[in-house]
Amino acid sequence: MASFIDDVLGRLFPKKAKSLFVKENFKQTDVDREAGADWVLSEEGKSIMALIEKNYHFKTSGMNSYPEVHILNSPYANGFAVSFDSPLNEKTFSYLFFAFGRRVLDLGYNQVSLDRKIEEMKDFVKTTEKQYFKPPLSNVDFSQKIDQLYGNISVEKVSVNDKPSFLKVLVTVYSDHLYQKAKPFDQFIERLFETNN
């Protein structure tokens, strides 16, 4: 009897298929890490970093250029996103993702996580690779306000149906009274794109 009722209810109210959702940590291989470090120092790497910095400043002045940069701005979070477009390709897009992470480490941050999230949406599959960084707290004198540097930083690479879509760099500041005021976001941008020739 129960199976008949379950069958009727199942036809009247079909269950929605469960969407895929996977979240996992991953590591960059030593070979990929070395290739990325070489790329950043190459003419192509320097040229692409300079192009994105230029397009960021163009966008703040109301102009667009490719690859397009989008400004993210709110009271507690600032950042930018870079659309996947020429002259970027899948390999340089991945190098750029890790290059931004390397620059954040150079600013004195600790990497807290490197993870990948795969989500099945209605008509597509979205993959987000994310590096997450926090200011160092190991030598903090808790009798003083904590230096948050620029705030917490995330670097994301988003793909849709296995095709690169955009990169996002987001800085989120602590508004807690335990922390010093964050350093200016403009200074973060300047230091993120600094080159060591």
Quote the CA–CA distance of 181 and 193 in Å, as a whole number: 22
Quote the CA–CA distance of 52 and 99 in Å, as a whole number: 13
Residue 141 has what pLDDT? 72
3-class DSSP state of 75: coil
Q: pLDDT, tens digit, for every residue of 4-55?
A: 666 656 666 665 556 788 999 999 999 999 999 999 999 999 999 999 999 9
Pick from 125, 118, 111, 133: nearest CA to 24? 118
Domain boundaries, the chain: 20-192
Quote the CA–CA distance of 31 and 131 in Å, as a whole number: 18
Q: Are the C-beta atoms of residues 109 and 99 closer than 8 Å to each other?
A: no
Residue 144 has pLDDT above 90, yes or no: no
What is the distance in angstroms between the CA of the first residue and the CA of the last residue of the chain? 78
Residue 94 has what pLDDT? 95
Residue 153 has what pLDDT? 98
> How sure is the predictor about 3, in pLDDT bands with cuts at 50, 70 and 90?
low
Quote the CA–CA distance of 84 and 67 in Å, as a whole number: 7
Q: pLDDT, tens digit, for every residue of 157-176?
A: 999 999 999 999 999 998 88
Q: For residue 53, what is the DSSP state?
A: H
b/e code 137-170 from CB counts within 10 Å (16+ = b): eeeeeeeeeebbbbbbbbbbbbbeeeebbbbbbb
Residue 15 has what pLDDT? 59
Residue 69: in which H helix or E strand, if any?
strand 69-73
Q: Which residues make Cβ contacts (< 8 Å) with residue 2, sequence separation at least 6?
A: none
Residue 133 has what pLDDT? 98
Which one is predicted more confidently, 139 or 117?
Answer: 117
Pick from 87, 107, 108, 106: nearest CA to 45? 87
Q: Are the C-beta atoms of residues 159 and 126 closer than 8 Å to each other?
A: yes
Average pLDDT, the chain: 90
Q: Are the C-beta atoms of residues 149 and 182 closer than 8 Å to each other?
A: yes
